[in-house]
Structure 1
């Protein structure tokens, strides 16, 4: 019986060992699974780190590329500043050439027109009033009052200023639409028309033509006051720009002087001569129409308005014509 009990005890001990081994194996298996999960997690984290490192490398390459571009731009800006400095020095060394003088003279004829028409109406005042009296009497068969004749003469004088105001307001639009030189050339059509109307006033026996001619020539002079200074300042070299700007005032005073000298009684200040005196305003317009076409267009207009950089730098005389062709 004791032998049976010993055998049973041995079986129980072997069963306990087998159970402990099974439990230990389960625990080991669980730990291995957890370790596998940890390894997989570490691998994913390593992959993310690798991706981050690749992205950082791309960003560093981009930064390096941007840095190289900045260096190239800096070198380009330095070369551009050096080129601009040399060009400015060349411009400052330029003097008053024959062609520049020719261009300035052609342009300031518009300001001569302004000065002439501003003062030309004053000298033949009595002659113009007598003409208006004769026209009124022939039309209505009665004498005109002194007060009304003064009003008519005041209209003839002041309507020039009204036209000049309209022309001055339109100068900027015309300069941008047709160019500085193109605007001056087209403006001469108004100058010729106004001068012809004033010159044929006595022949047509109509003082309304005088009013209309004074208005049109006023628009012409208003445009000249905008276009001429703009054109001269934009074609003049930097070192001469201030001095050449005073040529406008000089031309105005010369025009005033001519109108007063020619308007004296011994020359054209007579009953027969005053239409010729007013009609002489056609001379500056025709002269400018002949001289101005060979002058260059404003480089500023060609570059900023037309975006023609090559023509602006080369200063071609007929750049607008060549561009169209």
Structure 2
């Protein structure tokens, strides 16, 4: 016969294992939530681990007054708010380019922005957002939206994501953030005023895919004139984690000429990739990884180029 103490210990272990199994299915969507809140996949993964650990440690405090999913979002949101407010928040150092870049049009503040592979989005369960949601998955993960979230105060970011992306009601958001409904309404109004109306995002059409391939072909052979023909008049180029931004065709043209001279005769190859539901290309110079180019399209042209300078995550390639 098994001693009573051993049976009790085994039952406790079973409950612990069961709780871990219960929260694990939410890991993928909580990662996306943390990424939206923080703009950095690296930081989001760190905060996700803290969230799962906090949930496991606090499992006895989950009284099932709300759903397990809502309880986990409460923990994750507060962990992200703490990270955004922390004086020790990890902000990458400005890299030193291998050439002297031309004077930028302006210096960006959001230098910690990182891309999010579409492969990780595929792991997110297809849960219908609440009736209050104003954004779908595609527009709620595009780079422009994530950048906009980083420019909001932390509490406004949390309110907008919980209300307009996840579709929680005003009362539910107030409960999640331990605040009042009037406070939520005020923060939401200010956040919406800053970001503007959501733009419907659709998968790339055949003509858009042809446009991005023309970009890749011209970029590989340094055909600057062909590249310029593909850009909108107000196009921009950004290069996180470097703060340099170039706005308008003349500024972009000057940068491309300088960087192309540095490349010399080395072979450039662009491989299709998918990040933040946008068309992108992994870049390689003489076979070595050289970063990632993410394209923002508008009206049949390329309106923006985000050139991530860090090493490419292989999961971003198609």
Give the TM-score taking structure 2 as reference length: 0.23
Tell me which of the two structures has the higher relative contact order, counting C-alpha pairs closer than 8 angstroms and 6 or more residues apart.
1
Give 1 or 2: higher strand fraction: 2
What's the TM-score, normalizing by structure 1?
Answer: 0.22
